[in-house]
Amino acid sequence: MTARRTRLIVALDTKDTAQAIRWRDQTALSADAIKLGLEFTYARGLDAVRQVADGGTLFLDLKLHDIPNTVGSAIGSLAALRPAMLTIHALGGGAMIAAARAAIDRAFPAGARPLLLAVTVLTSMDQDALHGIGIPDDPCAEVLRLGALAMAAGADGLVCSPLEIAPIRDRLGAAPVLVVPGIRPAGAASGDQKRIMTPAEASRAGADWIVVGRPITQAADPGAAAAAVAAELAG
Ligand SMILES: O=c1ccn([C@@H]2O[C@H](COP(=O)(O)O)[C@@H](O)[C@H]2O)c(=O)[nH]1
C-alpha cells in the first residue's frame, strides 16, 4: 500500500492582486496549490483569479450555497478558470449538490473536471455556535451527517476540520478527498479558528490536503513559513 501524501494549499486571502502574486511566488517551492476565495474574488473578479492562478493548481473556494438551478449555472460560469477544486456548502442539500455535480460534468471536459468539495461545518464553529443556529448535534456528528449526504449526492470530497478526519475515514472510508483548513503550526495564533490541529497531526490523521492561510501569509517570511509547514508534512 502506498502512503498517502498530504499536500499543502496556501490560502491567498487578500484584496490585492500584486500581494496575492507575491505570496504565490514566495511560497511556490513548498505549496502544491493556491486557494483563492471570497475576499479576493469579490474584490478583483474572475479575470484576476485567472491571472493569479496562472495555469497552476487552483482551489477556487467560493462556497456556493443557493437553489440548485443557480448553483448549477454559477458553476458553468466558472468553467473557463479551469479550477482543480470547487466548493459548495453541504447545507444546500442533496438536490443542490446533485445539480453542482451535473453542472461540472456538463461544463468541464472529461479529464479537466474539478473536484467537487462539500463544506461540512466551518472550522470556525464550535458546539456553542452550532447550538446557536439550532443544530443540536456536536460538530463531529454534524460533519458525519452532512458528509454522508454530500458524498451520496455526488461530491468528490469534503472540507472538514482536522478533528473529523479519523471519524470520516471510519464512517465513509478512503473515498472522500479530505481538504482540511483549521491548521495551526505549534505556537501560531488560532484567530477565529476553533477546531484546529498542527500540520503534522492533520497529516497523521489522514488529510489529503491541508489549507493554511494566515500562519504563512502573515509571517515575517512567508516563504520560510510555507517551507516549515511542508517540512512538517514530509517529516
Ligand atoms: O471550514 C472552513 C472552510 C474554509 N476555510 C478557509 O480556509 C482558509 C483558512 O485560513 P487561515 O488563515 O489558515 O485560518 C481561509 O481562506 C478560509 O476561508 C476555513 O478556514 N474553514
Q: What is the pLDDT of residue 4?
A: 75
SS3 content of the chain, % helix, strand, coil (to 5): 50, 15, 35
Tell me: pLDDT of 2 over 70. no
* Ligand 1 atom at shortest distance from the alpha carbon of 193: 14
> 38-93 pLDDT, tens per residue?
999 999 999 999 999 999 999 999 999 999 999 999 999 999 999 999 999 999 99
ipTM of the complex: 0.99
Distance CA 96, CA 147 (A): 14
- Exposed/middle/buried for residue 124 (C-beta within 10 Å: 0-12, 13-18, 19+): middle
- Strand (E) or helix (H) holding 199: helix 199-205
Task: For residue 183, give the ligand 1 atom closest to its CA.
Answer: 13
Is 15 marked active-site? Answer: no
Give the count of beta carbons closer than 10 Å to the beta carbon of residue 111: 5
DSSP letter at 79 equals G
Tell me the three-class secondary structure of 107-160, residue by residue.
Answer: HCCCCCCCEEEEECCCCCCCHHHHHHCCCCCCHHHHHHHHHHHHHHCCCCEEEC
Q: How far is the CA of 188 from the centre of ligand 1 (A)?
A: 15
Residues lining ligand 1, Cβ inside 6 A: 11, 13, 35, 37, 119, 122-123, 159, 181-182, 191, 193, 211-215
The SS3 assignment for 231 reads helix
Q: What is the DSSP letter of 3?
A: P
- Global pTM reads 0.98
Domains in the chain with CATH codes: 7-234 (3.20.20.70)
Ligand 1 centroid distance, CA of 110 (Å): 29
Provide the grid cell at 108: 468541464
pLDDT in tens, 177-194: 999 999 999 999 999 999
